[in-house]
């Protein structure tokens, strides 16, 4: 089993970056809004967990600063393509502001635009070490404003791009996209349109982007038909949160092979061996359950009767049928699945039972659940992220992040997040990076205090005595 799970080592380093130019990028053509106009955001866009920027970085190996027959720099090509794609994706040029009851909307004024930063670094990409593993040392490749407040989204450019050219000729594209505008699938749609504009030199928006956030307007009157425990504040009476926040957590990454994933899924589906216990589940259900229990055991969470939660995003696009979402919709269309279990049940290592909890939480997301979520937010509008007694797992393995990000210099070596440590109760499942042949492996990125690292890998590799139950 241990050979199926491989720890990936991060290379801590300083990346000196010089900002050479920063400018706003405007749409190159007319857009259907004027200064003073506003756009509605749904309660799924405006949910507290979406009031963040999602930072990602894309590395491209040195080939040439210029494409054959082109006299423009990398930044020049990307800037011109962005100006083209901002015509149909014009909401990215607006800004956020709060209106009544703390709700957000997009407003437009003259000369807003998105921000593009051009930067340079004397290092070669080879000096950065392993580029297939997300590394907090890459933070200088993402643009932040001086003295920027954490989680600030009000009055910020909604897309911030930094192009950093390295001494070897390779480059990185660091992006910060405001989650209020799009979920992961919507971001891939935008990225693909931008990349196609860069490679073709003309606007290619297929599918045509669809705003239509009014689709998720709350009902009148709102009708909340589920308890929505995913939003319930919990006074964390366990040792878990303190263990993470008092001891500075470290970011750890593990390559998990396709064979291990298949073994785990089969083990979960076999149940206890009785025919009545067998059930179907997804690979995500089994992996999420196993990571959750391994994490709880490694942190030695106490007391045993404390109720812990696992939350994760569920794509609701295919749940909505009456009517369905329009093609090209790129807004937030996800709900939060929530599984709950006492510590003692998780540490008992009953994989089928815990997998069942995750599966049931995922399957409970229905069209009515989506509508109920919208109405719940309308009535209660949670104001802060709740971390108490909770692990959140975010799945990026189904995003076409590598396929969408070929701007004319080939697919990126790495595409994904950078630093999870500011939110150490978040785990990300990533597709494996650059490879000659797709292997089906995933990369598990998670934060752990130093004292929990060895125990976590022992549990993750099924080497503790109870893991195979």
Q: Give the pLDDT score at 384.
A: 74
Q: What is the pLDDT of residues 353-369, one digit of tens each?
A: 999 999 999 999 999 99
The model's confidence at residue 68, banded by pLDDT at 50, 70 and 90, is: very low
Domain holding 389, by residue range, is 229-398+419-461
Identify which of 247, 6, 228 has the alpha carbon closest to the alpha carbon of residue 133. 6
**Mean residue pLDDT across the chain:** 91
Domain contains 64:
yes
If you average pLDDT over each of 231-240, 330-339, 438-447, which comes out highest?
Answer: 330-339
In terms of Cβ atoms closer than 10 Å to its own Cβ (0-12, 13-18, 19+), residue 140 is middle
Has residue 223 been placed in a domain?
no
**Site of tokens 């709950």:** 340
40-44, 77-81, 130-134, 330-334: least confidently modelled range? 130-134
Rounded CA separation 142/379 (Å):
36
The secondary element (H helix, E strand) that includes residue 199 is: helix 184-200
- Give the per-residue pLDDT at 465: 47
Residue 316 above 60 pLDDT?
yes
Q: Are 272 and 388 in a shared domain?
A: yes
Tell me: do 148 and 95 sit in the same domain.
yes
* 222 found inside a domain: no
pLDDT at res. 468: 45
- The answer to whether 131 and 125 have CB atoms below 8 angstroms apart is yes
Same domain, residue pair 134 and 178:
yes
Residue where a domain terminates, one of 186, 216, 246: 216
Contact, 59 vs 113, CB < 8 A?
A: no
Lowest pLDDT segment from 125-134, 269-278, 299-308: 269-278
* 452 within a domain of the structure (yes/no): yes
Q: What is the pLDDT of residue 240?
A: 79
**373 lies in a domain?**
yes
Band of residue 469 on the pLDDT scale cut at 50, 70, 90: very low
| 264 and 389 part of one domain | yes
Dist CA 246 CA 235 (whole Å) = 17
Among 414, 406, 433, smallest CA distance to 194 is for 406
385 found inside a domain: yes
Q: What is the pLDDT of residues 317-351, one digit of tens each?
A: 999 999 999 999 999 999 999 999 999 999 998 99
Q: How many domains does the chain have?
A: 2
Q: Which of 108, 72, 63 is nearest to 90 (CA)?
A: 108
153-195 residue pLDDT tens: 999 999 999 999 999 999 999 999 999 999 999 999 999 999 9
- Domain end, chosen from 159, 185, 216, is at 216
pLDDT at 433: 76
> C-alpha distances in angstroms, 462 versus 2, 89, 286, 318, 466?
8, 47, 13, 34, 8
Secondary element (H or E) of residue 75: helix 74-85
Q: How confident is the model at residue 436 (pLDDT cuts 50, 70, 90)?
A: very low
Measured CA to CA, the distance from residue 317 to residue 335 in angstroms comes to 10
Distance between CA atoms of residues 167 and 148, nearest Å:
29
CATH number at residue 55: 3.30.559.10
Categorize the per-residue pLDDT at 121 as very low, low, confident or very high, splitting at 50, 70 and 90: very high
Q: In the structure encoding, which two tokens stand for residue 290, read together?
A: 């196993």
Last residue of a domain, one of 167, 192, 216: 216
Mark whether 305 and 444 lie in a shared domain.
yes
Residues 40 and 133 in one domain: yes
- What's the CA gap between 341 and 346, in Å, rounded? 7
How far, in Å, CA of 262 to CA of 182, rounded? 32
Same domain, yes or no: 212 and 234: no
468 domain-assigned:
no
Q: Is residue 269 part of a domain?
A: yes
Mean pLDDT of 201-222: 95
Same domain, 161 and 260: no
Residue 160, number of CB atoms within 10 A of its CB = 22
Same domain? 423 vs 319: yes
Nearest C-alpha neighbor of 208 from the set 40, 327, 80, 45:
327
| Pair (287, 370) in one structural domain | yes
Least Cα distance to 427 among 252, 302, 282, 301 occurs for 252
Q: What's phi and psi for 120, nearest 5 deg?
A: -140, 155
323 with 358, same domain: the answer is: yes
DSSP 100: G
The sign of the CA dihedral 124, 127, 130, 135 is negative
The reply to whether 29 and 158 lie within a common domain is yes
Closest CA to 204 of 320, 80, 346, 85: 85
Helix boundaries (H) for 151-183: none
């Amino acid at each position: 089993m241990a050979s199926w799970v491989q720890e990936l080592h991060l290379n801590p380093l300083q990346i000196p970056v010089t900002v050479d130019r920063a400018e706003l990028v405007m749409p190159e053509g007319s857009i259907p809004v004027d200064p003073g106009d506003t756009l509605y955001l749904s309660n799924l866009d405006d949910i507290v967990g979406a009031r963040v920027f999602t930072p990602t970085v894309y590395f491209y190996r040195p080939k040439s600063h210029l494409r054959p027959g082109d006299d423009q720099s990398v930044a020049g090509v990307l800037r011109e393509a962005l100006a083209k794609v901002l015509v149909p994706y014009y909401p990215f040029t607006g800004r956020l502001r709060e209106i009544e009851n703390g709700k957000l909307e997009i407003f437009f004024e003259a000369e807003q635009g998105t921000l593009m930063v051009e930067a340079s670094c004397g290092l070669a990409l080879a000096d950065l070490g392993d580029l297939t593993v997300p590394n907090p040392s890459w933070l200088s490749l993402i643009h932040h404003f001086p003295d920027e407040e954490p989680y600030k989204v009000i009055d910020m450019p909604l897309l911030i791009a930094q192009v950093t050219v390295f001494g070897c000729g390779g480059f990185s594209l660091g992006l910060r996209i405001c989650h209020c505008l799009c979920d992961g699938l919507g971001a891939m749609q935008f990225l693909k349109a931008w990349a196609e504009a860069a490679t073709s030199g003309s606007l290619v928006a297929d599918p045509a982007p669809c705003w239509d956030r009014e689709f998720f307007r709350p009902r009148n009157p709102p009708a909340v038909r589920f308890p929505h425990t995913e939003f319930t504040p919990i006074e964390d009476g366990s040792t878990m949160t303190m263990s993470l926040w008092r001891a500075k957590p470290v970011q750890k990454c593990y390559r998990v092979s396709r064979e291990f994933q298949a073994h785990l899924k089969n083990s979960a589906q076999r149940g206890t061996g009785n025919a009545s216990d067998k059930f179907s589940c997804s690979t995500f259900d089994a992996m999420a359950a196993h990571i959750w229990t391994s994490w709880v055991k490694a942190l030695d969470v106490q007391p045993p009767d404390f109720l812990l939660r696992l939350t994760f995003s569920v794509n609701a696009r295919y749940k909505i049928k009456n009517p369905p979402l329009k093609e090209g919709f790129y807004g937030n269309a996800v709900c939060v699945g929530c599984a709950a279990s006492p510590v003692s049940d998780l540490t008992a290592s009953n994989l089928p039972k815990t997998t069942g909890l995750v599966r049931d939480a995922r399957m409970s997301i229905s069209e009515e659940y989506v509508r109920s979520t919208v109405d719940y937010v309308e009535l209660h509008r949670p104001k802060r992220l709740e971390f108490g007694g909770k692990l959140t797992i975010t799945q990026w393995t189904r995003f076409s992040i590598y396929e969408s990000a070929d701007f004319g210099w080939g697919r990126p070596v790495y595409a994904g997040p950078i630093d999870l440590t500011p939110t150490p109760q978040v785990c990300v499942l990533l597709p494996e990076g650059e490879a000659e042949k797709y292997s089906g492996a995933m990369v598990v990125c998670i934060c752990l205090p130093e004292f929990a690292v060895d125990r976590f890998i022992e549990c993750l590799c099924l080497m503790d005595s109870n893991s195979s139950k």
